[in-house]
């Protein structure tokens, strides 16, 4: 079975530009040729543009791959707009995992704004609001795989330390000054932000599931403790 050649890139590095920076729109497609089309925008406008792929990073809006369509397009949903609660669990799991992996906005916040209903029919159509999209292959994840992958998303941290952990992982370590740039670039707020981040980093070093290291070059790096190490360490 031939899938869209951009599927692997989307799943491993996240949404392409300019989609990653878009808050508007309910769903989007990425064609085999690499053209993005965004649907469900406010005031009825539609965007069509070339996808530009970048290395993995974090972005605000949870654009997540839901399926490959009958035309071999990648179908991505904006989970801040599309309500996926009525989709089968096997379909919602990969959507949640992608959002936790690439989206810097807390899940509680983007879930609260989702209002466009999505359903999946027995004859393989994905209904998004009033649009009916034929699906060749929906992305599905079983419960065991979901549980394993969920542990890699720092889901057990509260929103601010989780964002810190995501940034440290994505950038392979950051200094405190570099972290500040991701939270508030206003020079007037830098001292307060610096103190707040330093406090969070101190707390994170005590967390039983992660190891936070401060290197001589000033970088902080993060790794996850395996279940075995965590268990041995608690004996």
142 lies in the same domain as 177: no
Predicted TM-score of the model (pTM): 0.87
How would you label 68-88 residue by residue, b for 16+ Cβ within 10 Å and e otherwise?
bbeebbbbbbbbbbbbbeebe
Count the residues in the chain. 235
Looking at every residue in the chain, the average pLDDT score rounds to 92
- The residue with tokens 């279940």 is 227
Identify the domain containing residue 128 by its residue range.
Answer: 7-149
Average pLDDT of span 214-235: 71
> Would residue 1 count as lying in a domain?
no
> Would residue 15 count as lying in a domain?
yes
162 lies in the same domain as 123: no
94 lies in the same domain as 143: yes
* Residues ≥6 apart with Cβ < 8 Å to 161: 154, 200, 203, 204, 207
The predicted-structure confidence for 78-108, as pLDDT tens digits, reads as follows: 999 999 999 999 999 999 999 999 999 999 9
Given a cut of 50, is residue 232 above it in pLDDT? Answer: no
Domain boundary among 149, 182, 200: 149
17 lies in the same domain as 130: yes
27 lies in the same domain as 132: yes
184 lies in the same domain as 96: no
220 lies in the same domain as 172: yes
Q: What is the pLDDT of residue 152?
A: 87
15 lies in the same domain as 118: yes
Domain boundary among 149, 182, 202: 149
* CA gap 164, 212 in Å, rounded: 11
Q: What is the pLDDT of residue 140?
A: 97
Q: What is the pLDDT confidence band of residue 227, given thresholds at 50, 70 and 90?
A: low
What is the 3 state secondary structure string of the chain?
CCCCCCHHHHHHHCCCECHHHCCCCCEEEECCCCEEEEECCHHHCCEEEECECCCCCCECCCEEEEEEECCCCEEEEECCCEECCCCCHHHHHHHHHHHHHHECCCHHHHHHHCCEEEEECCCCEEEECCEEEEEEEECCCCHHHHHHHHHHHCCCCCHHHHHHHHHHHHCCCEEHHHHHHHHCCCHHHHHHHHHHHHHHHHHHCCCCCEEEEECCCCEEEEEECCHHHHHHHCC
* CA gap 64, 105 in Å, rounded: 14
The predicted-structure confidence for 122-170, as pLDDT tens digits, reads as follows: 999 999 998 999 999 999 999 999 999 998 899 999 999 999 999 999 9
130 lies in the same domain as 188: no
Q: What is the pLDDT confidence band of residue 231, given thresholds at 50, 70 and 90?
A: very low
């Amino acid at each position: 079975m031939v899938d869209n050649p951009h599927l692997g890139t989307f799943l491993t590095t996240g949404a392409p530009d300019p989609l990653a920076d878009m808050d508007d729109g309910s769903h989007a497609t990425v064609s085999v040729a690499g053209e993005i089309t965004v649907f469900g925008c406010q005031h009825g406008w539609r965007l069509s543009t070339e996808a530009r792929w970048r290395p993995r990073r974090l972005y605000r809006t949870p654009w997540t791959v839901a399926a490959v369509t009958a035309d071999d397009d990648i179908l991505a949903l904006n989970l801040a707009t599309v309500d996926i609660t009525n989709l089968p669990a096997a379909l919602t799991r990969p959507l949640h995992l992608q959002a936790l992996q690439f989206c810097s906005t807390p899940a509680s916040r983007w879930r609260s704004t989702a209002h466009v209903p999505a359903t999946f029919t027995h004859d393989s159509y994905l209904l998004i609001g009033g649009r009916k999209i034929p699906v060749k292959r929906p992305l599905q994840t079983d419960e065991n795989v979901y549980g394993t992958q969920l542990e890699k998303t720092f889901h057990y941290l509260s929103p601010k330390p989780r964002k810190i952990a995501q940034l440290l992982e994505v950038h392979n370590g950051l200094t405190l000054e570099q972290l500040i740039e991701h939270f508030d670039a206003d020079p007037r707020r830098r001292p307060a932000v610096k103190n707040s981040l330093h406090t969070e980093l101190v707390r994170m070093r005590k967390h039983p599931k992660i190891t936070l290291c401060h290197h001589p070059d000033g970088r902080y790096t993060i790794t996850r403790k395996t279940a075995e190490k965590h268990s041995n360490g608690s004996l």
